[in-house]
Amino acid sequence: MTPSRSEPAAIIRPDRANLFQKRHPWVFSGAIQYFEGSPTDGQIVALRDAAGQFYGRGYYNQRSQITVHVLTWEDQPIDQDFWRGYLQRAIQARRGEFERGDSPPAFRLINAESNGLPGLIVDRYGEWLVLQALTVGIDQRKAEIAALLMALIPDVRGVYERSDADVRAKEGLPSSVGLIQGEEPPTLITIEEYGLRFQVDVRAGHKTGFYLDQRENRRILRESVREFRLEGGSVLNCFSYTGAFGAAAWAGGAGSVMQVDSSAEALVLAQQNMSLNGFAVRDQDFITGDVFRVLRNFREQGQQFDLIVLDPPKFASSKGQVERAARGYKDINWLAFQLIRPGGLLFTFSCSGLVDADLFQKIVFGALVDAHREASILRRLTAPPDHPVALTFPEGFYLKGLVCQVW
Protein backbone atom coordinates (compact mmCIF):
# COMPACT_ATOMS: atom_id res chain seq x y z
CA MET A 1 0.00 0.00 0.00
CA THR A 2 1.18 3.54 -0.67
CA PRO A 3 0.87 5.37 2.62
CA SER A 4 -1.48 8.30 2.38
CA ARG A 5 0.19 11.67 2.51
CA SER A 6 -1.67 12.57 5.66
CA GLU A 7 -0.42 9.53 7.63
CA PRO A 8 1.96 10.72 10.33
CA ALA A 9 5.36 9.06 10.46
CA ALA A 10 8.05 8.52 13.08
CA ILE A 11 11.40 9.04 11.37
CA ILE A 12 13.99 6.65 12.75
CA ARG A 13 17.51 7.78 13.60
CA PRO A 14 19.93 6.36 11.02
CA ASP A 15 22.06 4.65 13.69
CA ARG A 16 19.00 2.83 15.11
CA ALA A 17 17.58 1.40 11.90
CA ASN A 18 19.51 -1.86 12.40
CA LEU A 19 17.38 -2.48 15.51
CA PHE A 20 14.44 -3.24 13.28
CA GLN A 21 16.13 -6.35 11.95
CA LYS A 22 15.27 -7.90 15.31
CA ARG A 23 11.60 -7.03 14.87
CA HIS A 24 11.11 -6.21 18.51
CA PRO A 25 7.64 -4.64 18.84
CA TRP A 26 8.70 -1.77 21.13
CA VAL A 27 10.14 1.49 19.76
CA PHE A 28 11.53 3.79 22.46
CA SER A 29 11.66 7.56 22.09
CA GLY A 30 15.46 7.50 21.70
CA ALA A 31 15.17 5.69 18.37
CA ILE A 32 13.04 8.43 16.82
CA GLN A 33 14.71 11.45 15.21
CA TYR A 34 11.59 13.48 14.47
CA PHE A 35 7.95 13.17 13.43
CA GLU A 36 6.27 14.00 10.15
CA GLY A 37 2.78 15.29 10.86
CA SER A 38 1.59 15.56 14.44
CA PRO A 39 0.25 12.21 15.61
CA THR A 40 -2.16 12.16 18.53
CA ASP A 41 -1.91 9.51 21.27
CA GLY A 42 -3.22 6.19 20.04
CA GLN A 43 -2.99 7.12 16.36
CA ILE A 44 -1.38 4.82 13.78
CA VAL A 45 2.03 6.03 12.56
CA ALA A 46 4.40 4.69 9.91
CA LEU A 47 8.02 4.00 10.89
CA ARG A 48 10.39 5.24 8.20
CA ASP A 49 13.84 6.66 7.79
CA ALA A 50 14.54 10.11 6.39
CA ALA A 51 15.07 8.63 2.92
CA GLY A 52 11.56 7.16 2.96
CA GLN A 53 12.50 3.50 3.61
CA PHE A 54 9.52 1.80 5.32
CA TYR A 55 10.08 -0.29 8.47
CA GLY A 56 6.70 -0.86 10.03
CA ARG A 57 3.47 0.59 11.33
CA GLY A 58 2.15 0.82 14.86
CA TYR A 59 0.30 2.96 17.35
CA TYR A 60 1.77 6.04 18.95
CA ASN A 61 1.69 7.31 22.54
CA GLN A 62 3.73 10.32 23.49
CA ARG A 63 3.10 9.68 27.20
CA SER A 64 4.63 6.21 27.23
CA GLN A 65 8.35 5.38 27.26
CA ILE A 66 7.44 3.01 24.44
CA THR A 67 6.60 5.70 21.90
CA VAL A 68 5.42 3.28 19.23
CA HIS A 69 4.12 -0.28 19.64
CA VAL A 70 4.66 -2.00 16.28
CA LEU A 71 1.65 -3.84 14.83
CA THR A 72 3.08 -4.85 11.45
CA TRP A 73 6.37 -4.98 9.57
CA GLU A 74 4.53 -5.13 6.25
CA ASP A 75 3.37 -2.03 4.41
CA GLN A 76 -0.30 -2.74 5.02
CA PRO A 77 -3.09 -0.58 6.44
CA ILE A 78 -4.17 -1.03 10.08
CA ASP A 79 -7.87 -1.33 9.40
CA GLN A 80 -10.65 -3.68 10.47
CA ASP A 81 -9.29 -6.45 8.22
CA PHE A 82 -5.95 -6.19 9.98
CA TRP A 83 -7.48 -6.60 13.46
CA ARG A 84 -9.80 -9.38 12.31
CA GLY A 85 -6.90 -11.22 10.67
CA TYR A 86 -4.73 -11.16 13.79
CA LEU A 87 -7.60 -12.13 16.09
CA GLN A 88 -8.48 -15.00 13.75
CA ARG A 89 -4.89 -16.21 13.75
CA ALA A 90 -4.75 -16.21 17.56
CA ILE A 91 -8.03 -18.15 17.70
CA GLN A 92 -6.82 -20.63 15.08
CA ALA A 93 -3.61 -21.18 17.06
CA ARG A 94 -5.79 -22.29 19.99
CA ARG A 95 -7.89 -24.87 18.21
CA GLY A 96 -6.62 -27.44 20.69
CA GLU A 97 -7.95 -25.34 23.57
CA PHE A 98 -11.39 -25.13 21.97
CA GLU A 99 -11.38 -28.92 21.64
CA ARG A 100 -9.81 -29.83 25.02
CA GLY A 101 -13.12 -31.09 26.34
CA ASP A 102 -13.41 -29.03 29.52
CA SER A 103 -16.82 -27.42 29.71
CA PRO A 104 -17.07 -24.50 30.25
CA PRO A 105 -13.51 -24.01 28.98
CA ALA A 106 -11.09 -21.39 30.28
CA PHE A 107 -7.93 -20.30 28.49
CA ARG A 108 -6.01 -17.30 27.22
CA LEU A 109 -7.20 -16.27 23.77
CA ILE A 110 -4.88 -13.32 23.04
CA ASN A 111 -1.47 -12.97 24.64
CA ALA A 112 -0.49 -9.41 23.66
CA GLU A 113 2.90 -8.97 21.96
CA SER A 114 3.35 -12.72 21.64
CA ASN A 115 0.22 -12.89 19.46
CA GLY A 116 1.24 -9.81 17.45
CA LEU A 117 -1.17 -7.56 19.34
CA PRO A 118 0.81 -5.45 21.84
CA GLY A 119 -1.25 -4.24 24.79
CA LEU A 120 -4.14 -6.69 24.33
CA ILE A 121 -4.93 -9.58 26.66
CA VAL A 122 -8.12 -11.59 26.25
CA ASP A 123 -9.03 -14.57 28.41
CA ARG A 124 -11.97 -16.86 27.83
CA TYR A 125 -14.13 -18.03 30.75
CA GLY A 126 -16.90 -20.14 29.28
CA GLU A 127 -19.34 -17.87 27.46
CA TRP A 128 -17.57 -14.67 28.48
CA LEU A 129 -14.39 -13.01 27.37
CA VAL A 130 -12.41 -10.79 29.73
CA LEU A 131 -10.31 -8.14 28.03
CA GLN A 132 -7.40 -6.07 29.29
CA ALA A 133 -6.39 -3.00 27.30
CA LEU A 134 -2.92 -2.11 28.56
CA THR A 135 -2.08 0.73 26.15
CA VAL A 136 -3.78 3.82 24.72
CA GLY A 137 -3.66 2.32 21.22
CA ILE A 138 -5.69 -0.70 22.33
CA ASP A 139 -7.88 1.30 24.73
CA GLN A 140 -9.15 3.44 21.84
CA ARG A 141 -10.02 0.36 19.76
CA LYS A 142 -11.37 -1.97 22.46
CA ALA A 143 -15.04 -1.68 21.44
CA GLU A 144 -14.17 -2.55 17.85
CA ILE A 145 -11.97 -5.47 18.98
CA ALA A 146 -14.69 -6.76 21.34
CA ALA A 147 -17.27 -6.66 18.52
CA LEU A 148 -14.92 -8.55 16.19
CA LEU A 149 -14.27 -11.20 18.86
CA MET A 150 -18.00 -11.73 19.42
CA ALA A 151 -18.49 -12.17 15.69
CA LEU A 152 -15.57 -14.63 15.45
CA ILE A 153 -16.57 -16.84 18.42
CA PRO A 154 -20.27 -17.62 18.07
CA ASP A 155 -21.00 -18.89 21.60
CA VAL A 156 -19.61 -15.83 23.41
CA ARG A 157 -22.30 -13.85 25.23
CA GLY A 158 -20.33 -10.84 26.37
CA VAL A 159 -16.96 -9.12 26.65
CA TYR A 160 -16.10 -7.69 30.07
CA GLU A 161 -13.20 -5.29 30.61
CA ARG A 162 -10.67 -5.65 33.44
CA SER A 163 -8.23 -2.89 32.54
CA ASP A 164 -7.13 -2.24 36.12
CA ALA A 165 -3.52 -3.43 35.83
CA ASP A 166 -0.76 -1.15 37.17
CA VAL A 167 0.93 -0.85 33.76
CA ARG A 168 -1.95 1.34 32.55
CA ALA A 169 -0.52 4.19 34.63
CA LYS A 170 2.72 4.08 32.59
CA GLU A 171 0.60 4.85 29.55
CA GLY A 172 -1.21 7.69 31.32
CA LEU A 173 -4.44 5.66 31.48
CA PRO A 174 -6.87 5.41 34.42
CA SER A 175 -8.26 1.98 35.23
CA SER A 176 -11.40 0.92 33.41
CA VAL A 177 -13.67 -1.95 34.43
CA GLY A 178 -17.07 -2.95 33.03
CA LEU A 179 -19.04 -4.45 30.20
CA ILE A 180 -17.86 -3.59 26.65
CA GLN A 181 -20.12 -5.79 24.48
CA GLY A 182 -23.06 -8.16 24.94
CA GLU A 183 -24.42 -9.37 28.26
CA GLU A 184 -23.13 -8.79 31.79
CA PRO A 185 -21.35 -11.85 33.18
CA PRO A 186 -22.75 -13.48 36.34
CA THR A 187 -21.11 -12.65 39.69
CA LEU A 188 -19.20 -15.92 39.52
CA ILE A 189 -18.46 -17.87 36.36
CA THR A 190 -17.95 -21.61 36.81
CA ILE A 191 -15.20 -23.06 34.63
CA GLU A 192 -13.72 -26.54 34.27
CA GLU A 193 -10.01 -27.42 34.29
CA TYR A 194 -9.18 -31.05 33.57
CA GLY A 195 -12.45 -32.09 35.16
CA LEU A 196 -12.15 -29.87 38.25
CA ARG A 197 -14.61 -27.03 38.63
CA PHE A 198 -13.70 -23.53 39.80
CA GLN A 199 -15.70 -20.40 40.41
CA VAL A 200 -14.09 -17.33 38.92
CA ASP A 201 -14.82 -13.76 39.96
CA VAL A 202 -14.08 -11.92 36.71
CA ARG A 203 -15.17 -8.55 38.14
CA ALA A 204 -12.98 -8.42 41.23
CA GLY A 205 -10.60 -11.40 41.10
CA HIS A 206 -6.87 -11.04 40.43
CA LYS A 207 -5.78 -10.35 36.83
CA THR A 208 -8.80 -11.38 34.75
CA GLY A 209 -10.08 -13.62 37.57
CA PHE A 210 -7.99 -16.82 37.50
CA TYR A 211 -4.35 -17.87 37.08
CA LEU A 212 -4.81 -19.60 33.74
CA ASP A 213 -1.04 -19.69 33.24
CA GLN A 214 -0.68 -22.44 35.89
CA ARG A 215 -3.16 -24.87 34.34
CA GLU A 216 -0.67 -27.46 33.08
CA ASN A 217 1.39 -27.19 36.26
CA ARG A 218 -1.67 -27.97 38.36
CA ARG A 219 -2.28 -31.04 36.18
CA ILE A 220 1.36 -32.08 36.64
CA LEU A 221 1.02 -31.68 40.41
CA ARG A 222 -2.06 -33.86 40.41
CA GLU A 223 -0.22 -36.58 38.48
CA SER A 224 2.87 -36.22 40.68
CA VAL A 225 0.94 -37.04 43.84
CA ARG A 226 0.25 -40.45 42.32
CA GLU A 227 3.55 -40.86 40.50
CA PHE A 228 5.61 -40.26 43.65
CA ARG A 229 3.30 -42.26 45.91
CA LEU A 230 2.17 -39.31 47.98
CA GLU A 231 -1.46 -40.44 48.14
CA GLY A 232 -2.84 -39.79 51.59
CA GLY A 233 -0.03 -37.30 52.25
CA SER A 234 -0.20 -33.76 53.56
CA VAL A 235 -0.03 -30.82 51.16
CA LEU A 236 0.68 -27.16 51.90
CA ASN A 237 -0.46 -24.78 49.16
CA CYS A 238 1.22 -21.42 49.76
CA PHE A 239 -0.10 -18.30 47.97
CA SER A 240 -3.17 -20.40 47.20
CA TYR A 241 -5.43 -17.67 45.79
CA THR A 242 -8.74 -19.50 45.16
CA GLY A 243 -7.25 -22.91 45.89
CA ALA A 244 -6.63 -24.29 42.41
CA PHE A 245 -3.35 -26.12 43.22
CA GLY A 246 -5.04 -27.44 46.37
CA ALA A 247 -7.90 -28.91 44.34
CA ALA A 248 -5.36 -30.54 42.02
CA ALA A 249 -3.64 -32.09 45.07
CA TRP A 250 -6.95 -33.47 46.38
CA ALA A 251 -7.75 -34.85 42.94
CA GLY A 252 -4.38 -36.61 42.89
CA GLY A 253 -5.19 -38.33 46.18
CA ALA A 254 -3.73 -36.08 48.89
CA GLY A 255 -4.98 -36.86 52.41
CA SER A 256 -5.03 -33.25 53.64
CA VAL A 257 -4.51 -29.87 52.02
CA MET A 258 -3.76 -26.59 53.78
CA GLN A 259 -4.14 -23.37 51.83
CA VAL A 260 -2.44 -20.11 52.81
CA ASP A 261 -3.12 -16.68 51.32
CA SER A 262 -3.10 -13.10 52.58
CA SER A 263 -6.45 -12.44 50.91
CA ALA A 264 -9.47 -13.49 52.97
CA GLU A 265 -11.76 -13.10 49.92
CA ALA A 266 -9.59 -15.45 47.88
CA LEU A 267 -9.82 -18.05 50.66
CA VAL A 268 -13.62 -17.77 50.83
CA LEU A 269 -13.69 -18.71 47.17
CA ALA A 270 -11.07 -21.41 47.80
CA GLN A 271 -13.43 -23.04 50.35
CA GLN A 272 -16.30 -22.87 47.89
CA ASN A 273 -14.12 -24.36 45.17
CA MET A 274 -13.15 -27.31 47.39
CA SER A 275 -16.82 -27.98 48.24
CA LEU A 276 -17.81 -27.68 44.60
CA ASN A 277 -15.48 -30.59 43.82
CA GLY A 278 -16.52 -32.65 46.82
CA PHE A 279 -13.25 -32.20 48.76
CA ALA A 280 -13.08 -31.87 52.53
CA VAL A 281 -13.43 -28.37 53.93
CA ARG A 282 -12.18 -27.77 57.48
CA ASP A 283 -11.83 -24.18 58.66
CA GLN A 284 -8.36 -24.79 60.07
CA ASP A 285 -7.08 -25.75 56.60
CA PHE A 286 -7.60 -22.22 55.26
CA ILE A 287 -5.09 -19.82 56.75
CA THR A 288 -5.38 -16.10 56.09
CA GLY A 289 -1.89 -14.79 56.66
CA ASP A 290 1.57 -13.92 55.45
CA VAL A 291 3.31 -16.99 54.00
CA PHE A 292 6.69 -15.85 55.36
CA ARG A 293 5.27 -15.90 58.89
CA VAL A 294 3.10 -18.98 58.51
CA LEU A 295 6.08 -21.04 57.29
CA ARG A 296 8.16 -19.85 60.27
CA ASN A 297 5.39 -20.87 62.64
CA PHE A 298 5.20 -24.33 61.09
CA ARG A 299 8.96 -24.68 61.47
CA GLU A 300 8.78 -23.73 65.15
CA GLN A 301 5.99 -26.25 65.66
CA GLY A 302 8.00 -28.94 63.86
CA GLN A 303 5.22 -29.47 61.32
CA GLN A 304 6.11 -31.48 58.19
CA PHE A 305 4.47 -31.85 54.78
CA ASP A 306 4.77 -34.30 51.89
CA LEU A 307 4.30 -31.65 49.22
CA ILE A 308 4.60 -27.87 49.31
CA VAL A 309 3.58 -25.38 46.60
CA LEU A 310 5.16 -21.92 46.53
CA ASP A 311 3.46 -19.73 43.92
CA PRO A 312 4.14 -16.19 45.12
CA PRO A 313 3.08 -12.99 43.35
CA LYS A 314 5.60 -11.10 41.22
CA PHE A 315 8.31 -9.97 43.66
CA ALA A 316 10.24 -7.79 41.14
CA SER A 317 8.59 -5.24 38.84
CA SER A 318 11.78 -3.29 38.06
CA LYS A 319 15.50 -4.03 37.88
CA GLY A 320 16.02 -2.19 41.16
CA GLN A 321 13.80 -4.72 42.92
CA VAL A 322 15.59 -7.88 41.76
CA GLU A 323 17.92 -8.15 44.74
CA ARG A 324 15.13 -7.79 47.25
CA ALA A 325 13.02 -10.24 45.26
CA ALA A 326 15.88 -12.76 45.31
CA ARG A 327 16.01 -12.52 49.11
CA GLY A 328 12.25 -13.09 49.27
CA TYR A 329 12.40 -16.17 47.02
CA LYS A 330 15.34 -17.53 48.97
CA ASP A 331 13.59 -17.09 52.29
CA ILE A 332 10.39 -18.94 51.41
CA ASN A 333 12.27 -21.72 49.61
CA TRP A 334 14.67 -22.10 52.54
CA LEU A 335 11.72 -22.44 54.92
CA ALA A 336 9.86 -24.84 52.62
CA PHE A 337 12.91 -27.14 52.23
CA GLN A 338 13.00 -27.50 56.02
CA LEU A 339 9.33 -28.47 56.19
CA ILE A 340 9.35 -31.26 53.60
CA ARG A 341 9.55 -34.92 54.63
CA PRO A 342 12.31 -36.96 52.94
CA GLY A 343 11.08 -38.05 49.52
CA GLY A 344 8.55 -35.23 49.40
CA LEU A 345 8.10 -32.66 46.63
CA LEU A 346 8.49 -28.92 46.32
CA PHE A 347 6.69 -27.10 43.50
CA THR A 348 8.36 -23.69 43.47
CA PHE A 349 7.58 -20.84 41.05
CA SER A 350 8.61 -17.34 40.10
CA CYS A 351 6.51 -15.14 37.84
CA SER A 352 8.97 -12.22 37.90
CA GLY A 353 10.19 -11.81 34.33
CA LEU A 354 13.26 -9.98 35.61
CA VAL A 355 14.37 -13.04 37.59
CA ASP A 356 15.39 -15.38 34.77
CA ALA A 357 15.36 -19.17 34.93
CA ASP A 358 19.10 -19.36 35.71
CA LEU A 359 18.92 -16.89 38.53
CA PHE A 360 15.83 -18.56 39.95
CA GLN A 361 17.54 -21.95 39.99
CA LYS A 362 20.56 -20.41 41.73
CA ILE A 363 18.32 -18.85 44.38
CA VAL A 364 16.58 -22.17 45.04
CA PHE A 365 20.00 -23.86 45.20
CA GLY A 366 21.18 -21.29 47.77
CA ALA A 367 18.05 -21.93 49.83
CA LEU A 368 18.67 -25.69 49.73
CA VAL A 369 22.28 -25.41 50.90
CA ASP A 370 21.31 -23.17 53.79
CA ALA A 371 18.51 -25.56 54.74
CA HIS A 372 21.05 -28.43 54.89
CA ARG A 373 18.93 -30.68 52.70
CA GLU A 374 19.46 -32.52 49.43
CA ALA A 375 17.21 -32.17 46.43
CA SER A 376 17.09 -32.78 42.71
CA ILE A 377 15.08 -31.15 39.96
CA LEU A 378 12.51 -33.54 38.50
CA ARG A 379 10.87 -31.12 36.11
CA ARG A 380 11.12 -27.57 34.83
CA LEU A 381 7.79 -25.86 34.40
CA THR A 382 6.48 -22.88 32.49
CA ALA A 383 3.24 -21.46 31.10
CA PRO A 384 1.12 -23.54 28.68
CA PRO A 385 0.86 -22.98 24.89
CA ASP A 386 -2.09 -20.59 25.17
CA HIS A 387 0.50 -18.24 26.76
CA PRO A 388 3.06 -18.34 23.92
CA VAL A 389 6.28 -16.30 23.88
CA ALA A 390 7.14 -14.70 20.53
CA LEU A 391 10.82 -15.27 19.68
CA THR A 392 11.02 -11.54 18.91
CA PHE A 393 9.69 -10.76 22.39
CA PRO A 394 11.74 -12.60 25.03
CA GLU A 395 10.25 -10.34 27.72
CA GLY A 396 7.10 -12.44 27.32
CA PHE A 397 8.78 -15.31 29.18
CA TYR A 398 8.01 -14.81 32.86
CA LEU A 399 6.70 -17.98 34.51
CA LYS A 400 9.19 -20.62 35.57
CA GLY A 401 8.90 -23.38 38.10
CA LEU A 402 10.94 -26.28 39.47
CA VAL A 403 9.65 -29.54 40.82
CA CYS A 404 12.21 -30.78 43.35
CA GLN A 405 12.33 -34.00 45.27
CA VAL A 406 13.77 -33.35 48.70
CA TRP A 407 15.80 -35.70 50.90
Q: Which residues pair with 286 in a beta bridge?
A: 259
347 binding ligand SAH? (CB under 6 A) = no
Report d(CA 157, CA 328) in Å as an integer. Answer: 42
244 binding ligand SAH? (CB under 6 A) = yes
Nearer to ligand SAH, 12 or 260 (CB): 260
- The string of DSSP letters for 195-241 reads TEEEEE-TTTSSTTSS-GGGHHHHHHHHHHHHHTT-TT-EEEEES-T
261 binding ligand SAH? (CB under 6 A) = yes
Return the residue of 59, 60, 211, 334 that touches ligand SAH, per CB under 6 A. 211
278 binding ligand SAH? (CB under 6 A) = no
DSSP, res 73 = S
- The string of DSSP letters for 36-65 reads ES-PPTT-EEEEE-TT--EEEEEEE-TTSS
Report d(CA 314, CA 351) in Å as an integer. Answer: 5
- Name every residue whose Cβ is closer than 8 Å to that of residue 240 and which is 6 or more positions away in sequence: 246, 259, 260, 261, 266, 267, 270, 309, 311
Nearer to ligand SAH, 57 or 108 (CB): 108
Nearer to ligand SAH, 100 or 206 (CB): 206
Closest CB 383 distance from ligand SAH, rounded Å = 12
Contact 393, 387 (CB under 8 A): no
Return the residue of 128, 245, 250, 315 that touches ligand SAH, per CB under 6 A. 245
310 binding ligand SAH? (CB under 6 A) = no
Q: Is 351 a catalytic residue?
A: yes
Contact 163, 175 (CB under 8 A): yes
Nearer to ligand SAH, 260 or 308 (CB): 260
Nearer to ligand SAH, 90 or 247 (CB): 247
Q: Which residue among the candidates 351, 364, 381, 403 is catalytic per the annotation?
A: 351
Report d(CA 329, CA 315) in Å as an integer. Answer: 8
Return the residue of 90, 138, 247, 266 that touches ligand SAH, per CB under 6 A. 266
Return the residue of 74, 183, 290, 323 that touches ligand SAH, per CB under 6 A. 290
Nearer to ligand SAH, 132 or 242 (CB): 242
Report d(CA 317, CA 383) in Å as an integer. Answer: 19
343 binding ligand SAH? (CB under 6 A) = no
271 binding ligand SAH? (CB under 6 A) = no
Report d(CA 273, CA 267) in Å as an integer. Answer: 9
Return the residue of 160, 241, 337, 398 that touches ligand SAH, per CB under 6 A. 241
- Interaction site with ligand SAH (CB under 6 A): 206, 211, 214, 239-242, 244-245, 260-263, 266, 290-292, 311-313
Cite the active site residues. Answer: 351
